[in-house]
Amino acid sequence: MRATVIYGERDVRLEEVPDPEIHEPGDAIVRVVAACICGSDLWPYRGIRPTPKPRRIGHEMVGVVEQVGDAVSRVSVGDFVIAPFYICDNTCVNCRNGMTTSCLNGLAWGGTDETGARIDGCQGEKVRVPFADGTLVAVPGEPDAAAIPSLLALSDVCGTGHHAAVSAGVGPGASVVVVGDGAVGLSAVLAAKRVGAERIIAMSRHEDRQALACDFGATDVIAERGEEGAERVRELTDGIGADAVLECVGTKESMDQALRSTRPGGRVGFVGVPAGGPELPMQTLFSTNIGVAGGMAPVRGYIEDLLPAVLAGDYSAGRVFDSELPLDRVAEGYAAMDERRAIKVLLRP
């Protein structure tokens, strides 16, 4: 089969690789129907994270089950399935607490399992799925082609934006600021709208993203940043800042923006992968009572929570995909996202 391999900075290639095979009784083999490129894939692509040796890449996909191991009971050959961006057993004590990203048996796409056997990346034609019963969520029936982008979004960005809103405790009537206008930030706008936020302020400087944010439910758009951006937020929020701020970038500047934009006693929900920078300022948190929660989103559970709305056509999370390419043009997809010509690229094997 063919799969994407990253060699180093700005060097991704689609290559012929061995077909995956069942290794463990809990494994399944899934034929990938759609995969995509994540903002976090740009880190090794840009060389910010080194790639010491070539490796498989991609951690988001939907597909059809082609084969299952003897111990698999919750998914069957022919099922259309959604995979979260990580592998989990969904039975350990952390999984039972909803923290599937902290699964005691958790594994990573593109890595190896406990026996040292390769786990495929998702930007390929097929993948071996360890802990298939825990990891995969089967979609009832055969989904419409039109639903596939939104189903694929459940694999990562949709649930990650949702996690920001959940972590910040967004509820009916809340005022919310979303820092970051990438696919996750836009998904956070959609999530805030879904749970009933009254005022949703998107911080964005890009016209196309501003427009999608407004379609997703943003009531206001702020292009300013830093203290000027925070001042604009306060003008819209009784002079004190928002009840909840969803941090969807991960830089020092974006977290600073989030903290400045939150009212005393408010909450920052953060899902941006931390890209170094200074740590959270305790004295500021203490004096303002601003709480901070979030992290690597346990989207496995959110797939089940959000799937009915997606299938009913009420949750158009897939609109964050503004570009679609066949898998053999994966390198173009990386370049388009790197150069910000695309928000998020969907790949069809």
Number of chain positions touching a copy of itself (CB under 8 A): 39
**Looking at 52, 53, 141, 279, which residue binds a copy of itself (CB under 8 A)?**
279
238 scored as a contact of a copy of itself (CB under 8 A): yes
HSE on the CB side for 164, CA within 13 Å?
Answer: 35
Are the C-beta atoms of residues 181 and 202 closer than 8 Å to each other?
yes
The smaller minimum CB distance to a copy of itself, of residues 64 and 273, is found at 273
Contact 36, 150 (CB under 8 A): no
Please identify, using beta-carbon distances, which residue of 134 and 333 lies nearer to a copy of itself.
134
Q: Is residue 99 near a copy of itself by the rule CB under 8 A?
A: yes
Contact between 290 and a copy of itself by CB under 8 A: the answer reads: yes
Residue range at the interface with a copy of itself (CB under 8 A); choices 10-18, 137-145, 213-221, 265-273: 265-273
Q: Is the Cβ of residue 121 or residue 269 nearer to a copy of itself in the bound state?
A: 269
Pairing mode of beta strands 126-129, 28-36: antiparallel
Give the DSSP letter of residue 39. G
CB 128, CB 20: distance < 8 Å: yes
Asked whether position 198 contacts a copy of itself by CB under 8 A, the answer is no
Contact with a copy of itself (CB under 8 A): which of 298, 318, 333, 349? Answer: 298
Residue number with CB closer to a copy of itself (116 or 276): 276
The amino acid occupying position 184 is: V
Strands 242-247 vs 175-179: parallel, antiparallel or unpaired: parallel
- Which stretch, 120-128, 188-196, 258-266, 331-339, contacts a copy of itself (CB under 8 A)? 258-266
Stretch that binds a copy of itself, among 7-15, 60-68, 128-136, 293-301 (CB under 8 A): 293-301
Does 283 bind a copy of itself (CB under 8 A)? Our answer is yes
Residue 194 sits in the site that holds a copy of itself (CB under 8 A): no
Helix axes 157-167, 183-194, angle to 10 degrees: 50
Measure the CA angle with vertex 151, ends 73 and 118; round to 5°.
Answer: 55
Could you tell me which residues are beta bridge partners of residue 80? 64, 139
Contact between 240 and a copy of itself (CB under 8 A)?
A: yes
Beta bridge partners of 13: 5
* Selected range binding a copy of itself among 150-158, 295-303, 311-319, 333-341, rule: CB under 8 A: 295-303
Spatial separation of the C-alpha atoms in residues 254 and 292, rounded to whole Å: 14
How many angstroms separate the CA atoms of 178 and 322, rounded?
20
The residues that touch a copy of itself, with contacts defined as CB under 8 A, are 93-94, 97-99, 101-102, 167, 238-240, 255, 263-265, 267, 270, 273-274, 277-283, 285-296, 298
